[in-house]
Amino acid sequence: MFRLLICLGCALMAYNIRDSVDVARRVRQLELPELPPKLPFLPAALSALLLLCGLAAGIFGQPGPAVTVILLAGGVLALVMNHLLEEVAQRAANREPPEVEPIEFIAPEFTAPHSSPAERGPSENAPAADELAAETARLRARIGELAAMSRVLRAPTSAIRALDRAALDEPDAPPCCREGLEALDLSAQCLLGLIDGMQEIARAEDGVSAPRSETFRLSDALGRVSAVIQALCGEKGLTYYVSQRADRRCLGDEARLTEALLALLDNAVRYTDAPGIVRLDVERADGDGDVRGLRFTVSDTGVGMDAARLSSLFDGSARSLARVKRLIEEMGGALTVQSEQNAGSTFTVTLPLEPAEEAEDARAEDIPAPPKRSLAGRRLLIVEDNPANARLVAELLSPEGVKTEYAESGRRALALYNGAPPGYFDAILMDLRMAEMDSMEAARRIRALNRPDAKTVPIIALTSGSLSGNVRHSLAAGVNVHLAKPADAELLNDTLRRLVGDAREVEEEQA
């Protein structure tokens, strides 16, 4: 019975996807420059994720009443959301003649006369002024429509997120379904951020918007972006890598950063064919004067651009990229691009994102310049179900004088750790995902052990980009730090030095 209902929900979701794509195309055809470029396709992505959850629950799970009701309700809400989008798009289409210029051109120089009134007769000047005034009014009305649309969209999106959270709280949800629900939650958060961005645009028209200075955790923002891009890459048969070599709580405008990264990554996905690669690298960009910044590099193996296209890239012909450039410059950053035809493109964003005050950062994972503590003689437990990877890590650490032991699963790691005397292992390095007891469960059990070092032994997880959505949960399970795979040797050493030293200091204080 439940399977039948889930099948019904899946059919509804398939209809929603087709409907969403149609609506998204129509909204895009309207070429609303103030509309975040990702927004029209996010309902389709949400519907696709719900469909995956439904299929996973129906085929592999043991669907209960709660999961069934939640999936069906999610389908109905997605349907409502599509209709609301369609209605607003229709209204915008009716109001706007297609030849209207993009909003960026409502600048003082646009409204200023190109020739003095004396050069033109009154009969020529008056209609032009009227036309401009009417056009400005129409554009302002359109922005009003968008602000209204964003308010309308917020409620069903919040509802989808709430239902998704409820489904995640279901203890019977199968793991494969849970992963989809996690991705759905991140996509919904992303969509809510974009909706807020639309309202911000409306406020900007009233002259009250400026880049925000708020505290946010970089890994959270990247996790949300990655959930959306991973889904897009998966659909297109592309591989998506995230290499995050810096994490910190930042002071800055998370919404603008998220929108800019989404637009650049979406652009990379669009112009890359399977089996291509899209990747996001994040690293510190210190050294530019006193600015403590971050560098975000979005690269792909796609079609690339020739020199002519490259030189005119930000002049308005690619409006989403022109908007990205403007967003970044508003935040005090810079955007550069390198590209070669048929060899891919690389967009580099440098932003002066200041670290938040240490006082606000109770669980900072920023990876600062480490004190040069020696790792010689330290013992590391490597937990990795790929023996070749484990051997390589051991080899990388041996010049530092680190001793290593190996466990092929979380279960084996738990047994090894629990069987060793307190203080025997100085740190644990775990692959996030393993077949027999994953690192989250292993970390949770290690932290729950009744031994003096159980709470302090540093646990480092190695995470692939596709699993970035799990970061929040594994931090809650007791993992100290996530490092992107493949592990950067220098970063791994620095992290070990910092964490091992910190743990020893805590133990000494406790002693």
Would you tell me which residues interact with another protein (CB under 8 A)? 55-56, 59-60, 175-176, 237, 239, 241, 243, 275, 277, 279, 301, 385-389, 392, 395-396, 435, 464, 466, 485-490
469/456 Cα distance (integer angstroms)? 25
Q: Which alpha helices (DSSP H) does 30-121 contain, by range?
A: 42-59, 65-95, 108-111
To another protein, the closest distance from the beta carbon of 442 in angstroms equals 17
Q: Find out whether 376 and 421 touch, Cβ atoms under 8 Å.
A: no
Q: Least CB distance from residue 55 to another protein, whole Å?
A: 7
Phi, psi for residue 429 in degrees, rounded to 5: -115, 120
Instruction: Give the tokens for residue 138.
Output: 């129409």
Nearer to another protein, 176 or 454 (CB): 176
Cα 157 to Cα 38, 127, 202, 299: the distances in Å are 15, 44, 20, 31
Of 385 and 507, nearer to another protein (C-beta) is 385
Closest by CA to 457, choosing from 392, 399, 383, is 383
Q: In what order do the strands lie in the sheet with 345-351?
A: 239-244, 277-284, 294-300, 345-351, 334-339
Nearer to another protein, 132 or 176 (CB): 176
Contact indicator for 500, 458 with CB cutoff of 8 Å: yes
* Distance in Å, CB of 240 to another protein, minimum: 10
Cα 50 to chain centroid, rounded: 18
CA-based torsion, 152, 155, 156, 161: positive or negative: positive
Residue 188 beta carbon to another protein: minimum distance, rounded to whole angstroms? 22
SS3 content of the chain, % helix, strand, coil (to 5): 60, 15, 30
Nearer to another protein, 200 or 281 (CB): 281
d(CA 234, CA 274): 10
427-431 β-sheet, strand order: 403-407, 379-383, 427-431, 459-463, 481-484
Helix/strand/coil (H/E/C) assignment for every residue in 308-331: HHHHCHHHHHCHHHHHHHHHHHHC
Nearer to another protein, 113 or 175 (CB): 175
> What backbone torsions phi and psi does residue 401 show, to the nearest 5 degrees?
85, 15
The structure tokens listed for 414 are 């738990």
**Residue 356 has what DSSP assignment?**
P
Determine how β-strand 459-463 pairs with β-strand 427-431: parallel
Q: H helices then E strands: how many in the chain?
A: 15, 13
Q: Give 215 or 239: the residue with its C-beta nearer to another protein.
A: 239
Structure tokens at 445: 């059990």
What is the smallest separation between the CB atom of 284 and another protein, expressed in angstroms? 14
Min separation Cβ 435 and another protein, Å: 6
33/234 with CB nearer another protein: 234
Q: Is the CB of residue 348 less than 8 Å from the CB of residue 337?
A: yes
